[in-house]
Structure 1
Amino acid sequence: MGLSTHYINGNSSGQQTNHIKVTSNNGYEINVRATTEYFSLNGNMTTLPVNTIMIATSLGDDLTGSGSAAPASLQINSAVPLSTSNTNIVSSGEGESARGFHVTYSIPASQTSNYLNKEPGTYTTNVIYTVVPQ
């Protein structure tokens, strides 16, 4: 399979292991958002929307080393499009000493047409994760 065929079928960053790390004494939520609606290229805003990127979150490791199970109240919103609005990806009714969450950034096949015939280069945006106590 050639590079273009692979890309047209969607593309992924691969799993970013324990990309988000949380320590909380109480229940919490994790939200994600982008700072801009469109990607920048060389410091200039483009017409390529950030909502073409999906953020998939999954349970990571107990970072205390004790192998503790996640709280029963933990809920993970497994895949959301990137947006400038805060989007909930994790909520827990209980705190944990140290928990990781894996994240994969991907471009679904349904969105790859947005990337065709664009100027070559590195397209950027800032992604902000916030942990909110509950």
Structure 2
Amino acid sequence: MLSWLADQKIEEAMRKGEFDDLPGKGKPLELEDLSHVPAELRSAYKVMKHANLIPEELSLRQEMLTLTDLIAACQHDGERRELRKRLDEKTLRLNMLAAQQDWNSNPSYGRYESNIRRKLTGL
């Protein structure tokens, strides 16, 4: 009964043209890959991301995962070298941040460290 009512309200709004001027109309949806974020933290991550409050460490990890995937799919040697260079730079920056924050003593990081290393190295 409730889903029928919701469908009726949506159809009514469509007839009135209430959805005609929404931002992004006619553009593909931007789907997010949140596989790098533990399931229990995804909602908080999305809220923080939309508020532009994502810590640099999380952004770096996402970029590193993307670069790792690109390297695996890359067939051009020059491009692969450039991608590896960018991955090395991101890895160095993440290591510098980790040293500054002493992540190794943080119990949260310890729980996810092996998963992060496995994801980044592909092992």
TM range (shorter): under 0.3
Q: Give 1 or 2: higher helix fraction.
A: 2
* TM norm structure 2: 0.22
